Structure 1
Amino acid sequence: MSHFKQLIWLSIFVLLVSPCMLQAKVTATIDRTDIGAGETFVLNIRVEEDTAEQPDLSLIPQEFTIVSQSQYHHSQFINGKRATVQGWQIKLKTLKSGELTIPSITVGKFATQPIKLNIRDSSDQLNLNGESKVIFLEAEVDTNEAYVQQQVIFTVKLYRAVNTHYASLSEPQADNAIVEKLGDDTQFEKYINNRRYHVTQRRYALFPQQSGETEISAVNFTADVTDNSRRNRSSFLSATRPISITTKPINLSVKPKPTNVSEPWLPATDVVLTDKWSPNTQELKVGEPVTWTILLNVQGLSESQLPEIEIPRVAGLQWYYDSPQKERQINDDGVVGQRIEKLAVIPSKEGIVTIPEVKLSWWDTKSDSEKTAVLSARTFKVLPAASTTQTAGISPLPQIESLTSSNDPALQSQLQKWQLAAAALLALWLVTLFAYWRKPVSSKPAQKNQLASPPPQKANDVFKLLLTAAKQGNNAKIEQLLIEWVNLNGFTQYHSIGSLAKVIDDSSLKAKLEHLESMRYSATNSATNISLVKSDFEHILSALSVQQNNAASQAIPPLYPR
């Protein structure tokens, strides 16, 4: 029983001492204690044992940023025993000031002691070697009050009167806002109090996404600078030291969009709608497409914020949209978003057509009022489709001077001879015609029946190619071969899919043809299968025949008009 009690006390002692023993195997130190907000310092973790474990850096609080890290390892023999030291150097920084703590960091079965830090406030300027303000920062916004989704320009300027090494400038951040850098940095020189500064200017566009108060974070500049006060006495070289300066945070008040405002919501400083027609003409032709390009330019919004341009439908015009192009430009006032819409416009009937005004409402952030961008109305004269065959001009026959009115005897005698010859020829023609009428009817088909025979072999060959293209889903080939096949079957007045679709009564087939025509003007849907089959093509030919017969019957006047 006494032995059992001793074993229990020994176990308790081991449990109490083990953490201390484990902690004694690993240590954590920092390279300096005078640390300002934004300045870097090194956390050194050292393990007096060879281990494959790595320190758990996820335990470091979010207030600290890990700038870099490295690892070292060395061994030596002391009194015949091998001693191993392994360690990690983690460079950290924080923008917060006050008392902060680096908690216990575990390395496998070992753990470090926590480290308490007192981080002093950082300034937006640096005094060095007895001189004030050798490096300083400036940060500003073009407005402290903005609407939700309105552009806010944030500008930071870095002034340097001394050389720096390993310089770094952090990015601004803001909750519930999109932050985008505007172009490249601008470099220039400026004299202040007879001191020359090298200035780096960087601009950002902020687009707040939620109304309320938001804070634009401080921007931090870190670098190494030469410090003559730290010159090594045994060397002529001056020592460098890390420095850090930080701007003050900026508060931004974000207003919600006004009530009863038109949609879409476009807070901007300028909105312009322009268009272009190619070819630039006031006359269109039925079935012939023209390109209508509409350009939307918005100062103060990115291209991703621009809406689709709504265009009213116009009777007698069909248009097919291409994929919109979205672009952006950067100028002194920030972002210029661009949206380019291209349409293929095809007139379907002749006459006068007017495309009404295209309007887009937007909110002018300068005047704090709603405005409307307008694209002027445009009127076109639509001409009938161009005919494929030109009727040759028939010049009038030359007038023949009357012979009978002449009183010349010789001419009268010559005329009598011609009259006798013409009478003889007429008699001969009548005899020949009488003989032809009495000739038995031949068993060969008449010429009329020959004209009604099936289409020539070329039409059949084209039809086979058409069926192959339909199976492959080659829309461009289907359109080309279908028009060619229809023309070879005698319907030469049809030159577009749209003209064929007008004749078709079957709504399903009509929709297929209209979809096929739209493929020509859509780059994104060119591979869509229209699913046309043999029976569809035969139905088209049948419908064309009915249309032609109806037109012919209406064109023949009655034999005995009343």
Structure 2
Amino acid sequence: MVIPQLNKVKALIFSLPNRILMLLFLLSFGQASYAASVTASLDKTTSVENEVVQLTLRADFTNTGNGPELDALKENFEILGKSQNSQFSFNLGTNTALSYWIVSLMPKSVGVIDIPAIKIGDHESNPLKLTVKNSPQLLDSNGNPPAMIKTQVSEVEPYLQQQVILSVKLYTSVALQNANLSVPSHPDLIIEQLVDDQMSYETINGTDYQVLTREYLAFPQRSGLLTIPVQTIQAMINTNTGRRMIKVQSEPLALQVLPIPASYPSDNWLPSEAVTVTTKLTSTVEQPRVGDTLIWDIQIQAKGALPEQIPTMAFNSTRAYKLYPKPAEFNTRKTAQGITGQLNMSIEVVPTEEGQITLPKITVPYWDTEQRVMQSAEASTKTLHINPLPDGSQKAPSPAAAANTTPLPPQSRSVAPISLNKPKPVAAQTPVTETSTVVATTGSTSNIKRYLIIALIASSLVMVALWFYLKRKSASTPSEPNVPTLQDFAPLNTPDEKSAYANLIGCCRDNQLTELRSHLLEWARHRWGDEEITSVDDIKRLSASVSLTQLLMEAELMMYSQNTHHQWLGEPLAEALQEFTSGEAKPSQASQLKTLYPNF
């Protein structure tokens, strides 16, 4: 009777619906027995100074949010790094999710340090305690440290703005990890790295060190005592007890900066070990003439100085030449011995007189930082022979110029230019005796006037007859093909010479250099005709005026030059044109002080 009853119980329990109910009961029991939590642990409870400690956090749930909140650790620790790992497991009746965080910590002080509860999601870990002891100095078997820093300077008593080479040497006998070497800085020093890092090897007290040398340039900006802060390095190394962080620092350096010597006469203070000056004058043509462009190259090198410390040279134009400087160029050359600054200057020289052209001597004063005395670097430029203007510019002399064929030297603006205009009628200055004067006064002036009127009428009739003859001849001959003229290609924009001249004078007085050429050609075509005028050179040739020619040359030089440092002033050219057209010199007090090139 018992066995049949047991069989009935088994059948009832292991039937399909009952099996499902049993499985659900077991799952709910397993989940009810599982409690979410956060567990914290340390890889060691006792550590030494500058030794890395690892904190492990384990979360037994899935909703971890943004991970552990580590802000509470920053008061007593440096957080060096953090890594995360997750695990999931599924068993019959249970499922588990585990998340791990490993945090690398560096204690900031010695003693017993409390690690507070770390919050992850809605849960917190258990608090911990860490004991940090003073660490013995890390020394090898020879009694040497694993790393050292040494610093030195090339000059402990430099002058103001003198070059000082600062050398930082890092000695290491073990491999460094995550090394962080400081960079020298000081508010009263201009510091920049000199060359790339140099690597070498050295044995000290039986220990082999790898030596990294890093050199800097330092330029003190004020006199007095300057202290360069200590240089430090922070890195991780492997020891027998684990990874440790080391902090090494150098000794501070002091500079006693000397002021500018009272005996230094120049305003341009240039401390340098040596200064050299080279100069050269070259021509773009074999035989330079007046008005050609010469190139004057100047190079100044200062050893132990920045190129910006080299003073730029300023030269004035003279009666014999005009100067058009270009912007200076600064270059730097760095070597292990220091820096060398270089200043390059290029000046366009336009000679205005024939003969030997002599440029001024170049003198650069500087303070010799090695000898500690005042020195000067000098250089002279070789002279060049300048030929006169071509003869073509004097082919059309005016009647006044024909009377005196001696070429005029360069004059100030007070001298009247030569003009092609007809001079006003002047009575012949024939030397006469007192008797001839009496005879002349007794003649009848009315007869002279009558003869003049008759001659004028006769010449007018001849001109009218000649005009009718030419007109009939041109009408009888077959017409030639129409050939385009200059008027067809470039018609005149003004009705007469007077209007063109007024526009030209206005252009000069408004300093409109870009429109000068068109106004010049417009006026010249009215004055001399299209057959004579094709370029500005024809105006120079036909005017036969020294001052007007040189002013036009100056305008052309500025028109086609890339130099933008000077503005063209057209008033002198306007005055020269007025003197040329009127044939009379225009008096001016300021003209006594001007040269033929008044713009520079």
CA distance in 2, matches of 1:371, 1:121: 58
SS at match of 1:210: coil
One of 458, 479, 490 as aligned partner of 1:460: 490
Following superposition, the deviation at residue 351 of structure 1 comes to 3.2
One of 218, 221, 225 as aligned partner of 2:233: 221
User: 2:411 aligned with 1:371, yes or no?
Assistant: no
Following superposition, the deviation at residue 362 of structure 1 comes to 0.9
One of 537, 541, 545 as aligned partner of 1:492: 537
Partner of 2:324: 320
Contact 2:86 2:100 in 1 (8 A): yes
Change (3 A) 1:492 1:520: closer
Partner of 2:482: none
CA distance in 1, matches of 2:70, 2:355: 82
SS at match of 2:468: coil
> Where in structure 2 are the equivalents of 1:16-415 lying within 5 Å?
35=49, 127-128=139-140, 132-192=144-204, 195-227=207-239, 229-230=240-241, 239-261=242-264, 262-279=266-283, 284-386=288-390
Contact 1:50 1:86 in 2 (8 A): no
SS at match of 2:558: helix
Residue 232 of structure 2 aligns with an amino acid whose one-letter code is N
Question: Could you list the per-position Cα deviations for residues 9-53 of structure 1 after superposition, in whole angstroms to 9, with x for gaps in the alignment?
Answer: xxxxxxxxxxxxxxxxxx9x9x998557xxx97999x9x997899
CA distance in 2, matches of 1:122, 1:351: 87
Question: Could you list the per-position Cα deviations for residues 75-134 of structure 1 after superposition, in whole angstroms to 9, with x for gaps in the alignment?
Answer: 99xxxxxxx99999798999xx999xxxxxxx9xxxxxxxxx9999999xx624675244
How many pairs are equivalent?
434
Contact 2:291 2:351 in 1 (8 A): yes
CA distance in 2, matches of 1:444, 1:156: 104
Give ranges in structure 2 of 5+ residues lacking alignment: 1-39, 89-97, 112-118, 120-130, 396-461, 472-484, 495-502, 525-531, 585-600
Following superposition, the deviation at residue 216 of structure 1 comes to 1.1
Structure ID, larger Rg: 2
CA distance in 2, matches of 1:280, 1:515: 20
Report the TM-score when normalising by structure 1.
0.57
CA distance in 1, matches of 2:547, 2:181: 67
Contact 2:156 2:254 in 1 (8 A): yes
Contact 2:139 2:145 in 1 (8 A): yes
CA distance in 1, matches of 2:170, 2:519: 69
Change (3 A) 1:188 1:516: farther
CA distance in 1, matches of 2:105, 2:539: 78
Change (3 A) 1:377 1:542: closer
Following superposition, the deviation at residue 259 of structure 1 comes to 1.7
Contact 2:280 2:381 in 1 (8 A): no
Contact 2:540 2:548 in 1 (8 A): no
SS at match of 1:180: strand
CA distance in 1, matches of 2:514, 2:212: 59
Contact 1:182 1:204 in 2 (8 A): yes
Change (3 A) 1:490 1:301: closer
Question: Could you list the per-position Cα deviations for residues 195-216 of structure 1 after superposition, in whole angstroms to 9, with x for gaps in the alignment?
Answer: 5433221110111111111111
Report the TM-score when normalising by structure 2.
0.54
Following superposition, the deviation at residue 224 of structure 1 comes to 2.9
SS at match of 1:443: helix
CA distance in 2, matches of 1:363, 1:210: 17
What is the RMSD of the two structures over their aligned residues, measured on CA atoms?
A: 6.2
Partner of 2:558: 518
> Identity over aligned residues, as a percent?
21
Partner of 1:429: none
CA distance in 2, matches of 1:179, 1:92: 33
SS at match of 1:518: helix
Following superposition, the deviation at residue 177 of structure 1 comes to 0.7
Contact 2:547 2:576 in 1 (8 A): no
Give ranges in structure 1 of 5+ residues lacking alignment: 1-26, 77-83, 100-106, 108-116, 231-238, 392-436, 447-454, 552-562
SS at match of 2:537: coil
Following superposition, the deviation at residue 314 of structure 1 comes to 3.0
CA distance in 1, matches of 2:79, 2:369: 41
Question: Could you list the per-position Cα deviations for residues 46-74 of structure 1 after superposition, in whole angstroms to 9, with x for gaps in the alignment?
Answer: 9x9978999999x99xxx9x997779899
CA distance in 2, matches of 1:119, 1:482: 95
Question: Could you list the per-position Cα deviations for residues 200-257 of structure 1 after superposition, in whole angstroms to 9, with x for gaps in the alignment?
Answer: 2111011111111111122223333332x22xxxxxxxx4433232211111111111
Following superposition, the deviation at residue 442 of structure 1 comes to 3.2
Contact 1:491 1:544 in 2 (8 A): no
Residue 366 of structure 2 aligns with an amino acid whose one-letter code is W
**Going by fraction, where is strand more abundant, 1 or 2?**
1
Contact 2:356 2:384 in 1 (8 A): yes
